[in-house]
Amino acid sequence: MAFGIDFGGTGIKGAPVDLDQGDFAAERVRIKTPGKSTPEAIAEVFVELLGQFPDSDGPVGVTVPGVVRHGVVHSAANIDGSWIGTDADRLFTEATGREVHVVNDADAAGLAEVRYGAAAGRQGLVMLTTLGTGIGSALLYDGVLVPNSELGHLEIDGHVAEHRAANSARERDDLSWEKWAGRLTTYYRTLERLFSPDLFLVGGGVSKDFAEFGPLIDIDTEIIPATLLNKAGVVGAALYAAESAGI
Ligand code: BGC
């Protein structure tokens, strides 16, 4: 058993996770993300959240929408700039009194999908992309994660890819599914050319609408929706924490 926390721009979700099943072991709790989401403010929310599960023990995994190397956050494209340089593993471990391990949000989702979800048992190079406020990416080769791939920040035709092709860009520019799928085709064709993956997984909230836009993405590689949907972050974070703790 481990605990997973998914830290996002609008909500912070947490639940104990049954690592045999890859599912929540108790009902998930969601707390609104505070307006100024500095690491210290978020640490207080984690303390409150964990306080609602007095019986939970074991390591705690936390997703962060930025680069994380050895527990230290190194980028903050869509979060408060004060995260950069923060030793989040240490800060959250001290604040909560639990062993906390922080992981990039897309990497957590990728770990969960390869262990329990759409890519379970798939060999070769699996690339997960999450289409949300930004674009997150996870690279997994034979189930092993290569962390912090950050492929939402690829520059394509003079644009940062996530500024053109994230779900937030679809909403901002009021794009039809067809128009958005055109931008996604450009994006995934670039990834195809660079990585020759065996499988693309599409995650993020909008993956529930995959039937609307997925078949319109014109690429050669198999592309399928992720299946853990909004559980992927919490489950993947818990899995990452357990592995980091050597469980
Ligand atoms: C960040 C990534 C993150 C992605 C999805 C990007 O802007 O740089 O670290 O995985 O957004 O949240």
Per-residue model confidence as pLDDT tens digits over 9-68: 889 999 999 999 999 999 999 999 999 999 999 999 999 999 999 999 999 999 999 999
Claim to verify: residue 23 and residue 102 sit in the same structural domain: yes
Claim to verify: residue 33 and residue 98 sit in the same structural domain: yes
pTM beyond 0.75: yes
Claim to verify: residue 212 and residue 239 sit in the same structural domain: no
Claim to verify: residue 87 and residue 151 sit in the same structural domain: no
Claim to verify: residue 237 and residue 220 sit in the same structural domain: no
Domain ranges, residue 91 = 2-107+231-244
Closest ligand 1 atom to residue 107 Cα is: 10
Contacts of 144 (CB under 8 A, 6+ apart): none
Claim to verify: residue 28 and residue 83 sit in the same structural domain: yes
* CATH of residue 201: 3.30.420.40
Closest ligand 1 atom to residue 105 Cα is: 10
pLDDT tens, position by position, 136-151: 999 999 999 999 999 9
Domain count within the chain: 2
Claim to verify: residue 89 and residue 6 sit in the same structural domain: yes
Ligand 1, residues at Cβ distance < 6 Å: 65-67, 75, 77-78, 104-106, 130, 132, 134, 136, 150, 152, 162
CA 181 – ligand 1 centroid, Å: 20
- Phi/psi of residue 195, each to 5°? -120, -15
Q: What is the CA radius of gyration of the chain?
A: 17
For a pocket test of ligand 1, which of 80, 105, 154 has the largest count of ligand atoms closer than 8 A to its C-beta?
Answer: 105
- Stated length of the chain: 247
Mean pLDDT of 115-137: 96
